[in-house]
Structure 1
Amino acid sequence: MVMMEKQTRTDRISNLPWDVLDAILVHLPLKDAARTSILSSKWRYKWISLSQFVFDDKCFSNTLLNKVDRWGEIMKIIHRVQKNHSGPIEKFKLAAYCCPNHLDLDQWMHFLAEKGIKEFVLKEFYFIRRFKLPCCLFSCQQLRHLELYGCTFKLPPEFKGFKCLASLQLRQVCVDSDTLESLILQCPVLERLILLKIDGLTCLKIHNPNLKYLKIYTEFGNIYLENNPLLSSIDIHPTSVNLEMNMFCSLEEWKACNLFRVLGCLSGVKRFSLSGHFLEFIGTSNVPERLPERFNRLMALELREVSFKSLNEVMVFLAILQSSPNLEELSISHRDLEVGSYDIPIVEFLKSRYLLGSLNHLQVVRIRGIMVSRPEWELIKLILASSPALKTMTIVKYRGSRIPESVFLQVERASENAKIISLTL
């Protein structure tokens, strides 16, 4: 009995190696990790030496809503860490809805730069005030993941690149086109690049031999995507394309086909997600029937907020379809949510197309938010008549009653097994 009581009292957890304890504690919310300090004298300072610090809404009580007070609570923790931390800090994430003091943030970044930071994340603050990112962050050669929000930066002259950086996300950041191009080029193992609402981009040039995923939700004047041999997934949804911002493009370039210039170098892409605004941009002139370099690896195509009142958008859309012989999934959403007039040339253009041979592998089609205008109906008929492998077509009407099944029975179909699902929002 005495031996059993002695074994029961043995504190095996406290005697675990620090790397094991650290691996346990970093999976707890920071508030809960800090509470372990009351367990015993051995645990009083363990949480301060964690390798990861994530400040999010879980760090605060539900009653602490003031954004300035929230930052004050964060700084209490940061001051204790700066005073007592030993060992490396691999991850820092600020994702709390707070109002940070940028001088405090600067000092904390200098501290992290000396700790071998590998993952640095700034998420959305209470408000945007472009603070100047300290140069010390660009000396962090071990960085693998970087997310920045609400700041502005220039690359320091001594910047040698991020040799380990695999993922970069910039959101509501102010950076000029040349700085961004240089940053991307100096990340040799970069695989994921996400650009959201960037200020000041006249010309977006993205060249990286290792890049595999690209997402762009921002305004720009022009775009160049050459020399990205591994790029397999692209999501481009510009808020608008401001041609007046572009100072790099010559008149000869604009006379040439933007579709060739922008997409012609991306024949290895497996997934495209493009917006109607982007289709309008790459269809500014001389839209061909198909591209000379086919998208032979393209399996999924998503077109969002397409206007069936724009002949340019419809022409580019069909040119991509006719250049994608192995396409299996097609998704389209409509941005014209009001009934209105349409151009007869668009209807005649769709009626004159014949896509059989281009859509032999298409199996799944989703069309969302339509008003069943003539152009939309001609497109539906064209896809049904050109897709011998089609399994399902889901059509979601924006308002009113759904399209009766009897209407589809009158349409020619290349696939006898195609199931048409008609819904309404």
Structure 2
Amino acid sequence: MASCAPFPNLDRTSAADLRDTEHLLSYICSCVPDPPVSTTARLVARRGAAASKDGVDRISGLSDALLRDIVSRLPFKDAARTSVLATRWRRVWLAAPLAVADAHLLDHWPPAPADAPAVTAAVSGALAAHPGPFRCAHLVSTRMDAYQPQLKRWLRILAAKGVQELVLVNRPGPREVPLPDTLFRIANLTCLYIGFWKFPHASHLQGASFPNLRELGICSVVVKDGDIDSLVARSPLLEILNIQGSMKGLCLVGQSLRCVQICASMVESITLVSTPCLERLILWEVRASPNPASGLRTRIKIGTAPKLCVLGYLDPTQHLLEIGGTSIMPGIAPSASTILTSVKCLSLKVCFGANDAMKVPAFLKCFPNVEALHIMSAKCDEPADKLNLKFWQEVGPIRSVVLCVKVMTICEFRGGQHELAFLQFIYQNARVLNFSAIVSANVRVTGISANQIFSIVQNMDSSRWARNFNLAILGSKGPEGGRPWKFQRGANFSNDDPFAPVKS
């Protein structure tokens, strides 16, 4: 039987655009925080469920405070069902800080356009039924262009009932749906993610403030230059800023910012003006133009960031790095104004066969105290003659490689001569290297098997390596270029090396 086209009523271009939008929506939904409830801990409805084998009802003996905590961790429909158990349970339910997730009001996923009226009515009913507070509202299942009056009413209710965490994704359709002004006056918010919207005009944001906001995600939102900068400035406690989309530039001043992640984005410039607490700057698939042949590059300017310790994925082909007002180019000598001694974990995306890979030594010299170096090897069809082992030997000593790098990994490895020359340079100079991992690209993409990669690596001349170290050779099962970056990975401060494909 012939396979059915996924969008049979659309021309090819429109169908492709819709597929791209659906893929982007799926990516965004995978990046936003999950609702803080358990969908697996369902209520048990059977006789004697609350009693133990000795007949003692221990649940009823729990304090109201503990019962409220339990109820608050249930999906909204299950939490509401507890209110009919007894008068006490109704009081518990009314006082519990609940989470409303519209996905939990459906019995299937993803939602279809035909679900919108029922989902919208269910959300309206849930918000009206409970007096608050709502600790979380997770609304990702409705095309809001047709329900803007309801959205405004929801935000007014959530503001009045003290919502703390809000995820608001408009299922596309149009991205020109404006965000209601009410959103920017919800003072209790500690976490906010918005996706597929249009930022309101600056004149509508007079008095906007997020005095308690600590985490902000902005995904595929139509913004004007300076909108995000202004929002960050109005959030004095903001620690985590996550961005996906297109914008002219970012000029960040944030006294409390600890982590900035920009993924799958078109940005002309990113400037860290004054970020004294910033620990992490993570850039994944950030470029200045969708056209690789345009020659445009994203300018990354690092001003005041004295605590920056995790940085990546710097890409010499797509990025122009500027530190202390100086552009980092091949052959530039490091100076006090062009080095960042705080960076301990560095990741580079490198096409070793391209001329831009000649910037790699200059980049490495800017970070003299790097202890973990991670390379994402990009596919390259250009000849690699210039970046042979002789090139790397002529680079001269790089302090971080010689004295500091303890962990070194390379992902999407294809066994090319330019990649091997770089590995030889590292292995011949890294005096304190303890662990290295080589992760080959998916064999389905390259046609190069794990056995072939193992043989290639085994044939490397190890006689001049600086020391013995543990070497792991692994294979990837992910897509070409690696798996998409997730905001949760970079914002997990308990993981001091978010780039590591495997822990040593």
- With normalisation by structure 2, the TM-score equals 0.69
Shift of 1:44: 5.9
Contact 2:95 2:132 in 1 (8 A): yes
Question: 1: CA distance between counterparts of 2:267 and 2:176?
Answer: 19
1:328 equivalenced with 2:371 (yes/no) = yes
1:159 equivalenced with 2:207 (yes/no) = yes
Shift of 1:143: 1.7
SS of 2:155's partner is: helix
SS of 1:117's partner is: coil
**Bigger proportion of residues as strand:** 2
After the TM superposition, which of the residue ranges 164-173 and 22-31 deviates more from structure 2?
Answer: 22-31
Aligned counterpart, 1:271: 310
Question: 1: CA distance between counterparts of 2:56 and 2:414?
Answer: 72
- Which of 259, 263, 268 is the aligned partner of 1:221? 268
- Which of 135, 142, 154 is the aligned partner of 2:188? 142
- Which of 55, 60, 65 is the aligned partner of 2:101? 55
Question: 2: CA distance between counterparts of 1:223 and 1:26?
Answer: 40
SS of 1:206's partner is: strand
Question: After superposition, what is the alpha-carbon deviation per residue over 1:242-276, rounded to whole angstroms, capped at 9, x for unaligned?
Answer: 399xxxxxxxxx9xxx98x7136445311112142
Change (3 A) 1:194 1:35: same
Shift of 1:25: 1.0
Question: 1: CA distance between counterparts of 2:99 and 2:425?
Answer: 55
- Which of 304, 308, 322 is the aligned partner of 2:352? 308
Count residues in correspondence: 398
Question: 1: CA distance between counterparts of 2:131 and 2:112?
Answer: 30
Structure 2: runs of 5 or more not aligned: 1-53, 442-447, 477-504
The letter of the residue matching 2:206 is: E
Question: After superposition, what is the alpha-carbon deviation per residue over 1:196-236, rounded to whole angstroms, capped at 9, x for unaligned?
Answer: 12x4x112211111111010121111221121111111101
Contact 2:354 2:382 in 1 (8 A): no
Aligned counterpart, 1:366: 409
SS of 1:94's partner is: strand
- Which of 221, 232, 236 is the aligned partner of 2:283? 236
Question: After superposition, what is the alpha-carbon deviation per residue over 1:349-378, rounded to whole angstroms, capped at 9, x for unaligned?
Answer: 423112353321211111122333332222
Shift of 1:24: 1.6
Question: After superposition, what is the alpha-carbon deviation per residue over 1:4-58, rounded to whole angstroms, capped at 9, x for unaligned?
Answer: xxx97989749954x5443221111223213324424665686466523231534
Question: 1: CA distance between counterparts of 2:463 and 2:102?
Answer: 54
Aligned counterpart, 2:138: 93
- With normalisation by structure 1, the TM-score equals 0.81
- Which of 466, 490, 494 is the aligned partner of 1:414? 466
1:351 equivalenced with 2:399 (yes/no) = no
Structure number with larger C-alpha Rg: 1
Aligned counterpart, 1:290: 334
Question: 1: CA distance between counterparts of 2:277 and 2:367?
Answer: 18
The letter of the residue matching 2:307 is: G
Aligned counterpart, 2:167: 121
After the TM superposition, which of the residue ranges 400-409 and 339-348 deviates more from structure 2?
Answer: 339-348
Shift of 1:167: 1.0
Question: 1: CA distance between counterparts of 2:110 and 2:274?
Answer: 48
What fraction of aligned residue pairs are identical, expressed as a percent? 20
Question: After superposition, what is the alpha-carbon deviation per residue over 1:97-126, rounded to whole angstroms, capped at 9, x for unaligned?
Answer: 444433322211121122222221124736
Pairwise CA RMSD: 3.4
